[in-house]
Amino acid sequence: MTPNKVRLDRLVQLTDLPNIGPAMAADLQSLGILRPDDLRHRDPYALYEQLCEQTGQRHDPCVIDVFISVVRFMAGEPAQAWWAYTAERKQTLASRSARENHD
């Protein structure tokens, strides 16, 4: 992905976001995210849990990476490929799991 391909000042629809194609746009819309600005200040992990609950199935955890990428992009970070967030997601989920198992 070319970092300058996607610009905050040119976002109109969800598919204008980095890493978002028609299927992911449909998932976001089902969560009430109708335009890119709706992603500001959202929790990517909560979005993932909401999607899983809403659809009644556990989605691939890489969906979290995509959600992180677009939430961070809307917060002003540079566009990055979704897999740039995989290590962070794994560490965050492992940390949360360890805390839950400790309680």
Predicted confidence (pLDDT) per residue in 18-64, tens digit: 999 999 999 999 999 999 999 999 999 999 999 999 999 999 999 99
Distance CA 70, CA 36 (A): 8
Q: Residue 2 falls within a domain, yes or no?
A: no
The total of structural domains in the chain comes to: 1
Q: Residue 3 falls within a domain, yes or no?
A: no
Q: Which residues are CB-contacts of 39 (< 8 A; sequence separation ≥ 6)?
A: 17, 28, 33, 70, 71, 74
In this prediction the pTM is 0.89
Predicted confidence (pLDDT) per residue in 51-99, tens digit: 999 999 999 999 999 999 999 999 999 999 999 999 999 999 999 888 8
- Look up the domain containing 24 and give its range: 8-102
Decide if pLDDT at 2 tops 50: no
Q: Within 10 Å of residue 52's Cβ, how many Cβ atoms? A: 13
List b or e across 4-42, with b for residues whose CB sees 16 or more CB atoms inside 10 angstroms: eebeeeebeebeebbbbeeebbebbeebebeebeebeeb
CATH number at residue 84: 1.10.150
Q: Residue 59 falls within a domain, yes or no?
A: yes
